[in-house]
């Protein structure tokens, strides 16, 4: 009975450790400035574009909780088909910024999460994933 109890406790412990997400270590990206610059209104994230592009592959396969711990809450979340979602972080001021010159199509980091809430794609673009391609 004791060996079985020990193996059950060990299994629960291992699953518990793997379920916890930790912050993603990204070199050269100033994550404090990133978190301060909600919707890109302050222009702090715009300074991080090249550094973000250099480490975007390090984000692949990470879960949504690791993203939130690393980058903070997304500026916008878009739901897609097949239980996928997009986390969007603006590099340039979004339409939600007040008192700042806004770009009609701001540059953004678009992080696609699959049905298991794992990152499957990271892009930097001005194309809005929530807008159909044929819409102006």
pTM equals 0.81
The pLDDT score that the predictor gives to residue 21 is: 73
The pLDDT score that the predictor gives to residue 132 is: 63
Strands 85-90 and 108-113: antiparallel
CA distance readout (Å), 74 to 60, 121, 130: 16, 15, 15
The alpha-helical segments, DSSP class H, found in 1-136 are 2-19, 31-36, 49-55, 64-71
Residue 43 sits in which domain range?
23-125
Residue 77 lies in a domain: yes
Strand order in the sheet with 85-90: 76-79, 85-90, 108-113, 119-125
Place of tokens 């499957």: 120
Domain count within the chain: 1
HSE, CB side, 13 Å, CA atoms: give it for residue 87: 22
Residue 46 lies in a domain: yes
Residue 101 lies in a domain: yes
The SS3 of residue 54 is helix
The pLDDT score that the predictor gives to residue 15 is: 52
The pLDDT score that the predictor gives to residue 106 is: 95
CATH number of the domain to which 33 belongs: 3.30.1450.10
The pLDDT score that the predictor gives to residue 134 is: 44
Q: Mean pLDDT by 10-residue block, N- to C-terminus, for the chain (136 residues)?
A: 64 56 89 95 95 96 96 95 94 91 90 96 91 56
């Amino acid at each position: 009975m004791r060996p079985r109890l020990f193996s059950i406790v060990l299994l629960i412990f291992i699953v518990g450790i793997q379920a916890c997400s930790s912050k993603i270590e990204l070199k050269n990206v100033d994550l404090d400035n990133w978190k301060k610059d909600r919707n890109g209104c302050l222009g702090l994230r715009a300074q991080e574009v090249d550094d973000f592009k250099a480490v975007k592959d390090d984000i692949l396969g990470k879960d949504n909780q690791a993203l939130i711990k690393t980058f903070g809450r997304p500026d916008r979340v878009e739901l897609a088909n097949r239980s996928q979602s997009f986390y969007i972080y603006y590099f340039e001021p979004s339409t939600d910024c007040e008192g700042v010159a806004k770009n009609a199509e701001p540059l953004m980091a678009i992080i696609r999460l699959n049905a298991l809430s794992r990152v499957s794609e990271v892009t930097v673009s001005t194309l809005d994933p929530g807008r159909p391609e044929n819409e102006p």
